[in-house]
Every structure is written in structure tokens, then in C-alpha cells.
Amino acid sequence: MDITQNNKNVASVFFDLKILNHQEPNIHKRENKLQTKSIVLIPPLFFMLACSVNAQETNKEIQANVTRLLSGMTLEEKVGQMTQIDFAVIAAPEGQKAADPIDRAKLDDAVLTHHVGSILNVPYDKAQAIGTWRKMMETVKAVAAKSRLKIPVIYGVDAIHGVNYTQNAVLFPQAINMAATFNPELSFKEGEITARELRASGLQWNFSPVMDIGRQPLWSRLWETYGEDVHLATILGTSYIKGHQGDEFSAPNKAATCLKHFAGYSFPFNGKDRTPAFMGERMLREYFLPTFEAGVKAGSPAIMINSAEVDGIPGHANYRYLTTILRGEMGFKGFTVSDWGDIKRLYTRDKLAATEKEAVKMAVMAGIDMSMVPYDFSFYELLLELVKAGEVPLSRIDEAVSRILTVKYQAGLFDPKAPVLPIEGNFATAEALETSRQAARESIVLAKNANNILPLKKSANVLVTGPAANLLSVLNGGWTITWQGDDERLYPQEKLTIFEAMQLKSTGRVTYVGGKSFNDEIDSQEAVKAAKNNDIIVLCLGEKPYTETVGNIDSLNLDQAQIKLANAMVATGKPVILVTLGGRPRIITAIAEQVHGVILGFLPGMEGGAAIADILYGDYNPDGKLPISYPGNTNDSVMYDHKPIESFEPNAYKPLYPFGHGLSYTAFQTSGLKVEKNKINIGENIKVTVTVKNTGPLKGKETVLLYLNDVAASVSRPAKQLKAFKKIALDPGQAEQLSFKLTPYDLSFIGVDLKRVVEPGDFKVMIGNETVLFSVAK
């Protein structure tokens, strides 16, 4: 439908989805015909100035170096650069070489014979000592230096909540928790600390952050996202990138990031990982592209691709997504990397290709620059055959290799004198550990506090029970020490579980009834008996660790063993505090209605046990807010930014806890909401002010959320959308006026013609219980 056919008299602002120039679009006024005038803005720098370690090379010089290097490369050397292998390909037998687990002959074969450009992953699927990593990277660097052109290998790992594959690294809350902090500064610091510890480990490239939007609560990687809201995910994700990369990711304490998983991966229709998503173009552009657009603008030099498919087209064969949109519209200049074995899967799983060779051709021609093969050199061999047969043009190979080499130059990998960041002062520092603990504190959501049951008195006698009460793994989730994060034996024993942290804080008696692993059956009768001698029960329920397809489930309901335990604890008549841990919102409605307090912990990381104890006993005033809508039932998943039809007549937005919910031990009130103008012209910003006051007895932090609603539009608009937020610490009785700026982009949406548009009319601004209106002139 053409917008000019719409019977609404509109004036529109069209936004091209372009990052390279990021120009404010033209203005179109529709009367009897469209008249056009332009807004000209100074385009911000798209791709950060990239330098080598000595900070002398400019982008122009880098491109000259790449051109020279490329001109001297053989076809085999070029195709090798596009090949990424898992560590297992170069591994010595486990236990044979503890200090350096690399088999030198295998490494020589990979780098000198097959010319591989990248290696990934941790040896033997378990975290290594920092000294081991440094030795490994020295070995890889030395072998690459023996190659004809001395092209360095870029080594990548999934360091998604700290450097989780280096022993004793500082591990942060997972992304869903970082979103619950609503604190961009903490996300920036997480990026800084992760990059520093990555570089101290000798590593250069992090497969993080996940910029997918978490709008499917069944999905086993929901917790790796920054939640359901586009604006929140954009702010937290880009803050992480800026902290991780700084102005130059070649700096000794910075490192390259990799956005993942472009695009639509996080919205599987059936909730299972690596299964199809179905979405229209409008949904794609409204919800699933903006976070990646922002990540590109923030300077991330690599993007990992969707492992599944959207509307029948697998991510690794989607030319329109990978080339037309990512390159042509967003202006992305870095390189794309496949996810684990997904090029082969175009043949083995998706049945898109008739042979593995055809799958390689499809992926490369669609826009994949580097293949995470991962266990052999099949991609290398098949791509060589395709180029020699003329089925893949050499120009496409040169394009991909140029992108890879450019990032290697930008990362400073070609500098032979680049020092490895010292361990001392850069790894597991006291300051970094405290930052992680503060992030954990701010990420925990107090969802219910009937009759101010919390905080607990430290003198109280407490029964702690439940499968999540005395394990470190359930605080951390997947991608912790191992891929699945479920090997409790490997966790650092000096870190505290919830039970252990409560024991340290309490001056009363803290009793534990439970098993030694998550699946151990807990004797309900023993717990009931123990409850008789205690004042209060802390019931810790949730999920065991998982990620990816291993974490696929059929229902959000808790297992019957946990429900049985919960019912038994409620039946004692003692006050019960429910603490939940896990990566998804498991259904707790029936339990939550009967207990006195509810704490939603999600995955608060290695300091999470201590942080939860801080909140339980009142040593920290909770200030986390939900970054998702917590469903009340397994089949009632409605997002906060739902359409009007979803809350009309019998339909309703009725989660157990809404997006943005989170209680405090003090109280806050917002008042005096104002807009600076009642009417603005298209293309203008508008200022919003509001006063927030701490009306309670304790110092605390409050996150003020600004929502916007377009009252009437040519495409149905959400009931409200988050457009700005600020977190502020206030003493009792203290009040502060906050100021927000709404831009034309904030007022825009994807219009009838699938272009970003601002239409004239009324807009509602909502903060707290107040609403004000302003209008955009025709």
C-alpha cells in the first residue's frame, strides 16, 4: 500500500536505515501532492578511526596495506583467511601438555599448510589458567610469524559475562541481569573489564554482545539478551561495546567485539533454539534491526550470523539480510562470521543445498566472509574448488579477505612488538570484583514484599532450601567455565552460594536442607521438620544451567519436584521468601501469590550469592527493574509494548510482573511532568522534565522510565514504548528534576511503505502515574 493512498492527511519524515551517513531524512508533506524539503545534519563518524598499536596508521594507510598484502596473496592464502577452526583441530591429547595444550604439528598444518585466518574456543571445553592462555597465544603468534606473508591469526572466544574461559576471571551477571540494572555505566564498565582481562589472557576477539531482542520467553538464550525492549537493549549493548573497544580496539587493554546473531534468531516461533522465525518486514525493521544498527554505529567490526532461518530463508544464505540490508543500508564495513557449522547445515539440516559444496557457494555469495567450520578444512577445500571452477568469483574472495585483513590491522595484530597486557593490575582486581558485585546487586529484582517482610533481621533463624540454594552454577548459567556452565566441580570454591552468603551475614542460625546437585530430590518432609525450628523460609527455585539447543524446553512451568517442595513450605505457615534463579521466566504465579516475598535473581553471576544476601538482609537497597514482562501463565506471553488490540475487550496485558517492575525498601514519587512545548514541527526535538523524590526512610536508587505513545497513526502503534530512562540515587527526602530529550527518531516508526516515518498528530508522554500530551504539526 502506498502511503499516499491512506485517507489520513499526514506529513511524514522518512528515515533511511543508513548508518554510514546517518542523515536525518527528507520531510514530505502530503496535501494534494507531496512537497519536499530537507533537513541537513552533520553525519557522525560511522566507523571509529582504526589504528595499529602504535596509533600511527590511519584508515587510509590500513587500506593501502591491505591492498598491497592482498595483491601478493595466493588463492590458497586468501581462502585460508576465510577459514575458522575450533581449538580441537590443533589440540594435543588432554593432560599431555598442561602448560601449552597445542599440538605443534597440527597447528603448523592449520596455519602454514591451510593458512587458516582464525581459531576459536577453549581447550577441552573448560576454562584454562591465564598462564596457559598466554602461552597458547604466544605459540599461535610464533607459528603465524613463520608463514610466507606473516599474517596473524585472530583468536575468538565467547566471553559473554566476563572472560568465562579463563580461570578466576571476574564474571559478571548475564546480559538479562545487566539489562535489569538499567545502568549503562555498569554495562560500560563490564565491557572495559572484560576487554582488559581478555587481553591479559593474550586473546583479541570476543563473540559478544548478543544484540538479539528477547521477546520469546521459552527461548533457551533469552538470558543472553538485554530483554524485550529495543531502546533498553540498544543503550546497554552499545555501552558495553564502547567500554570494550574504547576509541581504538588496538589499545593494549581493549579488544574487538562481535555482534550476534544477525538477524531474527531470537524469535523462534515454537520457542526452540535454532528453529524458524516468522516475521514481516515491518516487525524486522521495528524490533530486530535497530539494535544491530546501533552496534554497527558503535564500531563493532564483526557480526555473527543467525543460526536458524527467517521466513524460510536460513540466515547463512540470506543475501538480502547479509548484503542488501547489512552492507547497503547499514553501511557495515567489517566482516561477517558464520555460527557453529552453519554453512554445512545449509546442506545437512536445512536442505537448501544439494551438496556441501553448493552450501559453501550459497553462503559465500550471500555475504558470509568467514566460516566457523569448525572441525575440519572442508570449507577451505570446497571453496578453492569453487573459485577454480569459476563458480565463485575471485572478486568476492578478495572482498571478504580485505574485510578480515582490515580488522586484523585495526586490532593491531600486525604489530610484531605489541606487548601482552600484564596480568598484575589488569586481572581479577579488587575494583573489578566490586564492580561485578555492584552489578549483581543492581540486577536483582524485588518483585513482592508483603507487609515489609524484607529485609530480614540478621538475628532471625532461617531455613534455606530448594535446588538453587547452594550451587554456584545456577547463579551463572551457561558459558561459565564450560559451554553449558553446569560442572559444579570446576567452580571456584571461595565464591559464595546463597546459603553460604547468608551464613556469613547472619547472627542467627541458618539451616540448609537440600541436595548436592540441582537434580537431587529434596526431602520435603525433612524440610517441613526443619522449618518448625526456624522463623522464616528462603525457598530457592529455578533452572539448572544451559544454553543453546541443550536448553530447549516444552513449557515454562516448573518441574513437579519444585512445585511439591514449594507447596510443602507454604503449608508450614511460616513466612516464605521465594528466590528464583535461571535464564527464563518460569511460571511461579501460584507460588508467588502465597508467599510473603519474591526476589527474581535470574543469573546474577559469580558474586550473585553475596549480592542476594546483601538484599535479603538489607545491606543493599534493591533497585533492579524487570527488562521483560514476567508472564503469569505459560501461554500468556504479551510484551509491555503490545498493540491496542492485545488489550482490547477480553484481551489484556496481565503479566505476573510487568516490564519495569521492581520494588525498593524505600519509596519514590514522580511529579510535575512537563513538555517544553505543546506543539512542535516535524524534525524538531522536544524536552521533557519531571521531578523524582525519595519519599521513604532510606537512601536508594530509582530508575525513571519515560514512555511514549503515538495516539493515532497509519500503522497501529504500541500502547507505550520506552524512549528514555535515567537512574538516580536519592537520600530520604531528596528530590531532583530530570530532563529528557525526545528526537524525531524517537517519534518515528516503520510506516505503510516500510520506511521510517514521523507522522503529525498527538503524542502521549508517560512517566509514573502522569501523562502529558504534545502534538507534531502538519
SS3 assignment for 140-168: HHHHHHCCCCCCCCEEEECCECECCCECC
Place of cell 558503535: 298
C-alpha cell at 251: 589499545
Nearest to 91 by CA among 126, 63, 62: 126
C-alpha cell at 344: 554445512
Give dist(CA 204, CA 154) in Å, integer: 7
Whole-number pLDDT of residue 417 = 84
Q: How many CB atoms lie within 10 A of CB 221?
A: 28
H/E run at residue 527:
helix 524-531
Residue 520 annotated to the active site? no
- Determine contact, residues 595/563, Cβ cutoff 8 Å: no
C-alpha cell at 452: 515489609
Nearest to 128 by CA among 92, 91, 99: 99
- What residues does 119 pair with on adjacent strands? 85, 155
- Angle at Cα 646 formed by Cα 645 and Cα 649, nearest 5°? 70
- What residues does 542 pair with on adjacent strands? 581
pLDDT, tens digit, for every residue of 612-650?
Answer: 999 999 999 999 999 999 999 999 999 999 999 999 999
Residue type, position 442, single letter? E
Which parts of the chain sit beneath pLDDT 70? 1-57
3-state secondary structure of 54: coil
Please give the order of strands across the beta sheet that includes 205-206: 205-206, 154-157, 118-120, 83-86, 371-372
Write phi, then psi, for 529 (nearest 5 degrees).
-60, -40
Q: Is 646 exposed, middle or buried (0-12, 13-18, 19+ CB in 10 A)?
A: middle
Per-residue DSSP letter, 298: T
Give dist(CA 746, CA 290) in Å, integer: 12
- Determine contact, residues 679/602, Cβ cutoff 8 Å: no
Whole-number pLDDT of residue 302 = 98
3-state secondary structure of 55: coil
- Determine contact, residues 155/121, Cβ cutoff 8 Å: no
- Angle at Cα 553 formed by Cα 551 and Cα 554, nearest 5°? 170
Distances (CA, A) of 666 to 448, 452, 505: 14, 10, 22
Whole-number pLDDT of residue 50 = 36
720: alpha, beta or left? (left if phi > 0; alpha if psi -120 to 50): beta
Tally of helices (H runs) and strands (E runs) in the chain: 21, 29
Give dist(CA 736, CA 329) in Å, integer: 41
- Angle at Cα 110 formed by Cα 106 and Cα 115, nearest 5°? 160
Give dist(CA 404, CA 66) in Å, integer: 10
Whole-number pLDDT of residue 231 = 98
C-alpha cell at 18: 543508513
Give dist(CA 259, CA 54) in Å, integer: 26
Per-residue DSSP letter, 712: S
C-alpha cell at 145: 610469524
Nearby residues of 642 by Cβ (< 8 Å), 6 or more positions away: 653, 718, 719
β-pair type (302-305, 335-337): parallel
Nearest to 488 by CA among 520, 465, 510, 522: 520
pLDDT, tens digit, for every residue of 339-365?
Answer: 999 999 999 999 999 999 999 999 999
- Determine contact, residues 584/552, Cβ cutoff 8 Å: no
Residue type, position 366, single letter? A
Residue type, position 154, single letter? I
Q: Is 103 exposed, middle or buried (0-12, 13-18, 19+ CB in 10 A)?
A: middle
Write phi, then psi, for 48 (nearest 5 degrees).
-55, 145
- Determine contact, residues 763/773, Cβ cutoff 8 Å: yes
Crossing angle of helices 560-571 and 524-531, rounded to 10° = 20
Per-residue DSSP letter, 50: P
C-alpha cell at 599: 526476589
Nearby residues of 472 by Cβ (< 8 Å), 6 or more positions away: 488, 491, 492, 495, 497, 606, 609
* pTM summary value: 0.93
Nearest to 749 by CA among 778, 711, 702, 777: 711
- Determine contact, residues 152/414, Cβ cutoff 8 Å: yes
Q: Which parts of 537-666 fold into alpha helices (H)?
A: 560-571, 589-592, 608-616
Whole-number pLDDT of residue 480 = 98
Give dist(CA 302, CA 316) in Å, integer: 15
3-class SS string, 591-619: HHCCCCEEEEEECCCCCHHHHHHHHHCCC
- Angle at Cα 599 formed by Cα 595 and Cα 605, nearest 5°? 150
Catalytic entry in 158, 339, 623, 746? 339
- Determine contact, residues 267/277, Cβ cutoff 8 Å: yes
Give dist(CA 237, CA 387) in Å, integer: 38
Residue type, position 551, single letter? G
Write phi, then psi, for 49 (nearest 5 degrees).
-60, 120
CA R_g for the chain: 27
Whole-number pLDDT of residue 31 = 30
